[in-house]
Amino acid sequence: MKNTIAKAVMVVAVGLLVSCLSNAHGQWVQKINLQEPQFVSSLLAENDTIFAGTSQGILRSVDSGSNWINISAGLSVNNETIYIPALAIFHGIYFASTNNAIYRSTNDGATWNVIDTSFFTFQTFSFAANDSTIIAGTLETYLYSFDSGATWSYMQCGEHDYDVPAIIAAGKNFYASIGLGFEWSSNNGICWQRTNSKICNILLNTSSIMLSGNTLFIGSRCGVSYSTDTGASWIDASIGLPDSANVNALLNYNGVFFTGVEKGIYISTNNGNSWSSAGGNLTDSTVREIVICGNYLFAATDHGVWRRPLSDFGISTVDESQSLPSSALALLQNYPNPFSSTTTIDFTLPEDENITSLKVYDALGREVSDLTNQVSRMGRISPMGKVAVEFDASGLPAGVYYYRLTAGKDMQSGEMAVIK
């Protein structure tokens, strides 16, 4: 299911205002409509293909949700109602969890084979992976696999006795929202540590988790909280959300945050400092999961899947071949911006040109970082010479900074803001 079409670069419109989003005129379009007691429990997006875990099985669309087919061959639930709480793809292999089993597909979901997990009977709620390890969060423990999900083992150390509704990975670190707070692992999920810090001043069930730079965001039934110290302390970030909002889903898309609650979807463009309703016709629906596929934002509710263009939220898609010509130097706006820890700087080079320098300066013109060697190690990552460089400002104070790209006789610069 490789996408041979040149990928688009998603560019967040400069000057996007949260206050404008609640007045957006766009509406959500329902792409899957299920009647009670049927339901949608999970979503997975991969390029222009989207999967939905429903009580009818797994549905797949290869045209960004316009048409769907059932791809449940091989799933077996003993004639019970199918429940698929988690879908994932790692290393080109698809995974799905059902009422009491984990399934694996190596042919884009056309057929599914059950994995031998006879040593445990717990339901699996979530998956996450890095380059070497896949983690499954279950009702009472963690499972991990080092062979692309062919075999699984229990966590080897630490105590765990809560369900794991969400996990994310960052290098060797894994972070999980659990039935009573937050846990993390620094060794590929083999051992886990639980922080005893309170979320919303109480030990609270959490349901979603997200990472932005070095900042963790967690969703619970009292809104959104964030931590900059690996969960040792949590700060409320629920301004603009409904009172006692149960946050079921969190999504970070190039610095634009989305959250799914009982009354629709809310959006933040200032690192979660405040939220505004995305509007439309989902304000009375409980959103279970959010994904982006193609040019659309998808929301899973209890009985359907809804779709809305990203352009309704001030996010536009620009074709690389049209907007980033290979014949000219082009330094793009960093994203996210403003940011608290890390950001990405994109630029393109003429085909016959090499970079001279990429440096960052403070407001007084003092050099604070030289990214030139980092660019040299990366080389070009697309035929037209487009390069993405990560800048870490975690050690810098808040303020305005400037980044300057020099290639031959050409020079371009950009402005960015660090917030703490």
**pLDDT per residue as tens, the chain (420 positions):** 333 323 333 333 323 333 334 444 468 888 888 776 678 889 999 877 899 998 878 999 988 888 899 998 888 655 555 778 899 988 789 999 887 788 999 888 889 998 876 666 678 889 998 888 898 888 778 888 888 888 888 776 666 667 788 899 888 889 988 877 788 888 877 788 887 666 765 545 678 899 888 899 998 888 899 999 988 888 999 999 988 788 989 999 888 999 999 878 999 988 899 999 988 778 767 888 999 998 899 999 877 899 999 888 877 654 444 444 444 678 888 888 788 888 888 887 765 566 678 899 887 778 899 988 876 544 443 334 567 788 999 999 988 888 988 887 777 888 888 887
- Going by C-alpha positions, the residue among 52, 26, 20 that lies closest to residue 267 is 20
pLDDT for res 118: 66
DSSP string of 335-404, one letter each residue: BSSSBSSEEEEEEE--TT----EEEEE-TTS-EEEE-HHHHHHH---STT-EEEEEEE-TTS-SEEEEEE
Which of 319, 320, 293 has the alpha carbon at shortest distance from 308?
Answer: 293
385: Cα within 13 Å, side-chain hemisphere: 19
Note whether 56 and 63 are within 8 A (CB): no
pTM over 0.85: no
Whether the bond between 397 and the residue before it is cis, its omega within 30 degrees of 0, is: no
- The amino acid present at 259, given as its one-letter code, is T
Query: Residue 321: what are its φ and ψ, rounded to 5°?
Result: -65, -25
* pLDDT score recorded for residue 400: 85
Tens digits of per-residue pLDDT, 21-30?
444 446 888 8
In whole angstroms, what is the distance from residue 122 CA to residue 100 CA? 6
Q: Which residues contact 107 (CB under 8 A, 6 or more apart)?
A: none
Q: Cα angle vertex 155, ends 151, 156, to 5°?
A: 110
Show the domains of the chain with their CATH numbers: 9-316 (2.130.10.10), 324-418 (2.60.40.1930)
The chain-wide mean pLDDT, for the chain, equals 79
User: Quick one: CA dihedral 308, 271, 177, 150, positive or negative?
Assistant: positive
Q: Is the peptide bond between 309 and the residue preceding it cis, with omega within 30 degrees of 0?
A: no
Rounded Cα distance between 357 and 375, Å, is 9
So what's the pLDDT on residue 267? Answer: 93
Bridge partners, 349 (sequence order): none
CB 161 within 8 A of CB 155: no
Give the model's pLDDT for residue 202.
53
Cβ contacts of 257 within 8 Å, gap of 6 or more: 210, 212, 217, 250, 251, 267, 268, 269, 271, 272, 275
- Say how far residue 286 (Cα) sits from the centre of its chain: 19
Q: What gap in Å lies between CA 261 and CA 299, rounded to an integer?
A: 11
- 206 three-state secondary structure: strand
Per-residue pLDDT at 251: 94
- What pLDDT does 105 receive? 92
